[in-house]
Amino acid sequence: MNKLPINLPNIFENEHLYGYVSRLCLLNGILDSNSIQKGIMGCNKALAALPLFKESTHELAIFISDKFSLPLADVFTRHTLLGLFRHNIDPTVLRKVVAKDYSRKTVISLEQTEVYWGKAWRYCPCCVEEDKVQHGTAYWHVEHQLPTSLTCYKHVKTTLEYKCQKCGLVTTNLGCKPIPTAQCEKCGHTHESMSLHLNRDQKSIQESGFRLFNDTSNFDSSMQYYMLDVDSIVRSREDISESLELRYKELDDSFFDWLSESELTVYFGHDSSIGTVQSLRAHRMVRYSGRAKLLYVLLWQRYFYHLRQTAKQ
């Protein structure tokens, strides 16, 4: 890759690694960028963790690390969502992933977080305009892809956009939209930015996501955020049913009610479908403890915080 006569732009701070590749293809007039990107990035989903562990992505990260003198671990944690996902990956596995001699044998099983916009790349219309002025081009920001985020990390009242307001087109492949623009590539509609005032719970979840992503502690302490002892909480509660099975059911019911009241169902699209997200249920959080999805752990943590606050009153 080093020897190719290509125009190699600098990678922006906060630029997603895959966004960098798509911008590179655009700058160099590589027309078949769809298949190139598929080769490098696999399914090319912003929120999926698995493509990060493809060997081609790893080679790309090493290339970026050498070219721009960035530590390899930083390429992963600052330019991909591994910055967030690392909090539920075993530190010994994590160290292997960010090592130069990474081998495909390091198998990691991680699922995509089931958020409403889970397959879409998101952008902030205000950032698009500001980046054009400041850098001469818009680019895909990693922080806009955090599953915990509803609004922009810079423009806290601006909703992150993932689909065309007119035709509903969703960006799932950066080959079709190498840099974010407010104009729809299918119907030409120009997007207007929308504002959203986050309530206290939404704000708390969003800020937790930023905090985890920007956490600078070493990999060994990553797991601490993931400790959520749902089981002992269920067992210790005396105000609910005798049978453990019923306790879990009652806990789930009140948890889902609270999600609706706090408008945290926005992460899942609609209030009515929230009960169908099986992996959000308390017994699943216990069974998959340590592998549970980060957003779900944050939602449960916030719920327990809410219970403690109500108990005090």
Candidates 84, 152, 179, 230: give the one binding Zn ion (CB under 5 A): 152
- DSSP conformational letter for 136: S
Best CA proximity match to 282, nearest among 300, 265, 264: 300
Verify binding: residue 124, Zn ion, rule CB under 5 A. yes
| Rama region for 223: left / alpha / beta (φ>0; ψ in -120 to 50; rest) | alpha
CA angle 267, 302, 256 (to 5 degrees): 55
Verify binding: residue 259, Zn ion, rule CB under 5 A. no
Smallest distance, Zn ion to C-beta of residue 123, A: 8
Q: Is the dihedral of CA 131, 137, 142, 144 positive or negative?
A: positive
Smallest distance, Zn ion to C-beta of residue 232, A: 41
> Which range binds Zn ion by CB under 5 A, 13-21, 71-79, 127-135, 247-255?
127-135
Q: Residue 278 carries which side chain, given as an amino acid letter?
A: Q
> Which range binds Zn ion by CB under 5 A, 6-14, 21-29, 155-163, 287-295?
155-163
Binding mask 179-198 for Zn ion (x = CB under 5 A): -----x-xx-x---------
Q: Which two tokens stand for residue 141?
A: 């920001």
Q: Residue 135 carries which side chain, given as an amino acid letter?
A: H
Verify binding: residue 128, Zn ion, rule CB under 5 A. no
Verify binding: residue 167, Zn ion, rule CB under 5 A. yes
> Which range binds Zn ion by CB under 5 A, 28-36, 121-129, 198-206, 222-230?
121-129
Q: Which is nearer to Zn ion, 206 or 262 (CB)?
A: 206
Smallest distance, Zn ion to C-beta of residue 193, A: 9
Candidates 61, 115, 150, 164: give the one binding Zn ion (CB under 5 A): 164
Candidates 6, 126, 156, 307: give the one binding Zn ion (CB under 5 A): 126
Q: Which is nearer to Zn ion, 189 or 249 (CB)?
A: 189
CB 221 within 8 A of CB 86: no
CA–CA dist 239, 311 (Å, integer):
11
CB 98 within 8 A of CB 76: yes
Best CA proximity match to 68, nearest among 120, 24, 132: 24
> Which range binds Zn ion by CB under 5 A, 7-15, 69-77, 109-117, 178-186?
178-186
Verify binding: residue 132, Zn ion, rule CB under 5 A. no
- DSSP conformational letter for 70: -
Inter-CA distances, 180 with 189, 191, 276, Å:
14, 11, 33
Candidates 73, 127, 179, 274: give the one binding Zn ion (CB under 5 A): 127
Question: Residue numbers of the site for Zn ion (CB under 5 A)?
Answer: 124, 126-127, 152, 154-155, 164, 166-167, 169, 184, 186-187, 189
